[in-house]
């Protein structure tokens, strides 16, 4: 191959060097691709059969005289790979997979790719030798055929290439493959040897003995090919090579100050360092290939900043020891990183946390409270997080320091983000007997394992064990006493503070009891839950906060199917097959045809007479005078989940001329309109014109 553009450029800038004759042409390299792959496998087989060779490769990168620079360059690569838990990495040209082992211990799912099956077998042994390797991440080892990367389109986040790309004969083809398998926003980071590598003694030995390909890494040529392959940007990372010598303490200080511009000692020291910096460009290249615009998320965060506000109740907080108050905290993302969320404490997910401190600021309870985000939060966005705040034991004055945390990575404040301090006071509850309730299930429900979305009327028996009267509230304002339910996940984390309510049937004096039916609609997703049942004094407190014991029930929602007589999830996809705009005379019949698909877990039962528990197509008429229930049409037959039906009927135009909106929706008679369950509707614009005069 002729002398590279990069070699010519570095020769001109850094001084003359000896020219070397061409060795291979591009066409020769492409024709020998399979041969080079076979030779690489033979190379690894030979090394694996030597005890000293095996010991060397098992100890990489801490092996031999290259260990300092290998570790240094790995650090440079890691800085540009921007890894984090859950970020998938292809280690291309993985060899013995020592770099894959690093990524695995960082929590990254890895795919080790190499043309040599022998090398990958050594890599598997390396992973098995170290108990620190995370087998739960299911590390993969895939053979590369020299042409197509063994990965699906847009399936990986990062590709790392350490001292491997210069061995590749078909570089343009491989770059196109890398671009194909990367997700949008992904990146390739290469660490490759610099000028003259193909003529170094070790390279010549490997090429002559094993007939493997040893190329120079032509930076400008690789940039050209990468852009042609579809990458949006190519960048190189400047660095100071470890070969740079040390400087005196005084020169080191001078180099860091403004006076260094005029200080001759600093100028001399700086010139030496600059010379080494220029030399670094010749010895190694750290190249970054970017596919589209990068999106930072909390697995590999950029700027982590949050604005934290206590919304309700307003601090300072005061409550009984060993009880809890349900609060809402608003968090706003003021950084540049998407906050990931999840039901479990997975690495890279963001949660709202709080430390417990003394009034003087001394930590006494690190990671005292946690609450998961309710959803992903993008930069500039905000959300309110429900969190149960426990009042500590023993009683006293404390401070809660709220601060978001990225699981297994960092607390936001450690990255310079402000925290929120809220004073709290915990008081003894031994003498507070005003509000106490004993709650039990009056009549056992048929089952607490029901299809998702099911209705469950829960019969409760309440006894007033306190010394205060439970009045019957004239209106449902602050201070009204009601029976309530909070929804928690199976770990006990709060999901919905105000999940259900029911009024007391009458005044309940101390020592008296009453029965209450608490209507519940179970969550629409299948999983395990907990229901915390308690009496609540609206906008004041739950009885639990005054020392009363709530009733906690464990429930399970399933994927089992039900029908509309005992409905679960009521959800439909509606498509209007008649014109969406109609003009009609008063009383004129308007043909309606709607295609409906059942997206819930509930079989729709058909009825002509609209009996309770039967599904029909309904219409609500919206006009300047308000909204009213207007019309029905029956199903042709029962409709199973995932089934589709066409519902047809004739809707009479209103008698009064005017502009109307007809909202078409399904209704489970006696239970709910589907729209009230979160299902979309279809709409028809109706213009009723006055009848023409004779």
Return the SS3 of 252.
helix
Question: b vs e for 210-224, b when ≥16 Cβ sit within 10 Å of the residue's Cβ?
Answer: bebbbbbbbbeebbe
Res 33: pLDDT: 62
Same domain membership, residue 214 and residue 160? yes
Res 316: pLDDT: 82
Residue 248 pLDDT grade (very low, low, confident, very high; cuts 50, 70, 90): confident
Same domain membership, residue 593 and residue 520? no
- C-alpha–C-alpha distance, residues 207 and 211, integer Å: 4
Which of 41-45, 280-284, 336-340 bottoms out in mean pLDDT, i.e. has the lowest?
A: 280-284
- Indicate whether 619 belongs to any domain: yes
Same domain membership, residue 126 and residue 209? yes
Same domain membership, residue 78 and residue 206? yes
pLDDT at 346 over 90: no
CATH number of the domain residue 466 falls in: 2.60.40.10
Residue 12 pLDDT grade (very low, low, confident, very high; cuts 50, 70, 90): very low
What average pLDDT does the chain have?
85
**Mean pLDDT, residues 439-444 taken together:** 82
pLDDT in tens, 601-635: 999 999 888 889 999 999 999 998 899 999 999 99
Same domain membership, residue 65 and residue 184? yes
Residue 319 pLDDT grade (very low, low, confident, very high; cuts 50, 70, 90): confident
Res 277: pLDDT: 55
pLDDT in tens, 401-413: 999 999 989 999 9
Same domain membership, residue 68 and residue 137? yes
Return the SS3 of 61.
coil
Same domain membership, residue 420 and residue 515? no
Same domain membership, residue 334 and residue 450? no
Q: What is the domain count for the chain? A: 4
Return the SS3 of 287.
strand
327 touches 218 (CB < 8 A): no
Same domain membership, residue 480 and residue 413? no
What percent of the chain lies above the pLDDT cut of 90? Answer: 59
* Structural domain range at position 650: 572-688
Same domain membership, residue 648 and residue 584? yes
pLDDT in tens, 292-316: 998 899 999 999 999 999 998 877 8
Residue closest to 237 by CA, chosen among 102, 93, 72, 108 = 72
- C-alpha–C-alpha distance, residues 66 and 277, integer Å: 19
Find the helix or strand (DSSP H, E) in which 667 lies: strand 658-668
**Mean pLDDT, residues 462-486 taken together:** 84
Same domain membership, residue 109 and residue 179? yes
**Bridge partners, residue 510, by sequence:** none
Residue 203 pLDDT grade (very low, low, confident, very high; cuts 50, 70, 90): very low
- Indicate whether 625 belongs to any domain: yes
Cα 348 versus chain centre, distance: 8
How many C-alpha atoms does 32 have within 13 Å on its Cβ side? Answer: 15
- The conformation of residue 339, written as its DSSP 8-state character, comes to B
- C-alpha–C-alpha distance, residues 639 and 648, integer Å: 15
- Indicate whether 567 belongs to any domain: no
- Indicate whether 269 belongs to any domain: no
């Amino acid at each position: 191959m002729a002398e590279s553009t990069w070699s010519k450029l570095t020769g001109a800038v850094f001084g003359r060097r000896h020219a070397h004759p061409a060795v291979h042409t591009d066409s020769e390299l492409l024709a020998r691709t399979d041969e080079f792959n076979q030779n690489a496998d033979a190379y690894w087989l030979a090394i694996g059969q030597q005890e000293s060779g095996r010991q060397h490769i098992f100890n990489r990168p801490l092996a031999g005289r290259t260990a300092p620079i290998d570790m240094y360059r790995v650090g440079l690569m890691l800085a540009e790979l921007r890894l984090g838990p859950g970020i998938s990495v292809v280690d291309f040209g993985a060899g013995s997979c020592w770099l894959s082992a690093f990524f695995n211990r960082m929590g990254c799912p890895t795919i080790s790719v190499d043309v040599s099956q022998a090398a990958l077998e050594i890599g598997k042994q390396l992973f098995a030798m170290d108990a620190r390797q995370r087998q739960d991440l299911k590390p993969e080892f895939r053979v590369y055929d020299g042409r197509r990367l063994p990965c699906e389109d847009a399936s990986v986040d990062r590709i790392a290439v350490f001292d491997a790309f210069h061995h590749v004969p078909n570089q343009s083809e491989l770059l196109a493959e890398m671009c194909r398998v990367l997700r949008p926003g992904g990146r390739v980071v290469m660490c490759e040897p610099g000028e003259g590598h193909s003529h170094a003694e070790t390279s010549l030995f490997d090429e002559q003995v094993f007939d493997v390909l040893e190329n120079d890494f032509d930076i400008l040529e690789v940039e050209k090919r990468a852009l042609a392959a579809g990458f949006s940007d190519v960048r190189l990372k400047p660095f100071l090579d470890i070969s740079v010598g040390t400087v005196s303490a005084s020169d080191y200080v001078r180099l860091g100050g403004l006076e260094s511009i005029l200080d001759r000692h600093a100028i001399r020291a700086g010139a030496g360092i600059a010379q080494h910096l220029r030399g670094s460009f010749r010895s190694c290249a750290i190249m970054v290939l970017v596919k589209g615009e990068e999106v930072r998320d909390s697995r590999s965060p950029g700027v982590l900043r949050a604005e934290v506000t206590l919304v309700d109740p307003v601090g300072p907080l005061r409550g009984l020891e060993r009880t809890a108050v349900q609060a809402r905290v608003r968090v706003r993302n003021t950084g540049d990183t998407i906050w990931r969320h999840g039901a479990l404490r997975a690495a890279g997910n963001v949660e709202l946390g709080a430390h417990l401190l003394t009034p003087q600021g001394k930590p006494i309870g690190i990671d005292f409270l946690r609450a998961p985000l309710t959803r992903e939060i993008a930069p500039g966005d905000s959300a309110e997080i429900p969190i149960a705040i426990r009042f500590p034991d023993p009683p006293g004055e404390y401070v809660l320091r709220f601060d978001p945390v990225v699981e297994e990575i960092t607390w936001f404040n450690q990255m310079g983000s402000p925290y929120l301090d809220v004073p709290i006071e915990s008081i003894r509850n031994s003498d507070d007997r005003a509000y106490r309730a004993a709650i039990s299930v009056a009549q056992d429900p048929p089952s607490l394992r029901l299809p998702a979305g099911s209705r469950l009327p829960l019969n409760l028996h309440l006894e007033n064990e306190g010394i205060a009267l439970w009045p019957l509230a004239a209106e449902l304002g602050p201070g009204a006493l009601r029976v309530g339910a909070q929804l928690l996940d199976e770990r006990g984390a709060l999901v919905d503070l105000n999940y259900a309510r029911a009024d007391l049937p009458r005044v309940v004096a101390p020592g008296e009891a009453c029965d209450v039916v608490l209507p519940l609609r179970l969550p629409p997703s299948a999983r395990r839950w907990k229901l915390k049942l308690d009496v609540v004094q609206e906008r004041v407190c739950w009885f639990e906060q005054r020392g009363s014991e709530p009733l906690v029930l464990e429930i399970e929602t399933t994927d089992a199917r039900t029908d509309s007589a005992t409905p679960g999830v009521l959800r439909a996809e509606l498509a209007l097959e008649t014109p969406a705009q109609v003009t009609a005379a008063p009383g004129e019949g308007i043909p309606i045809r709607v295609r409906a698909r059942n997206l819930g877990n509930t079989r729709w039962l058909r009825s002509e007479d609209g009996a309770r528990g039967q599904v029909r197509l309904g219409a609500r008429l919206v006009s300047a005078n308000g909204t009213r229930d207007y019309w029905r049409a029956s199903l042709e037959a029962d409709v199973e989940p995932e089934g589709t039906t066409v519902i047809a009927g004739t809707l009479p135009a209103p008698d009064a001329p005017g502009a109307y909106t007809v909202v078409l929706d399904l209704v489970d008679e006696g239970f709910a309109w589907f729209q009230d369950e979160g299902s979309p509707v279809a709409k028809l614009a109706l213009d009723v014109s006055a009848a023409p005069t004779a």
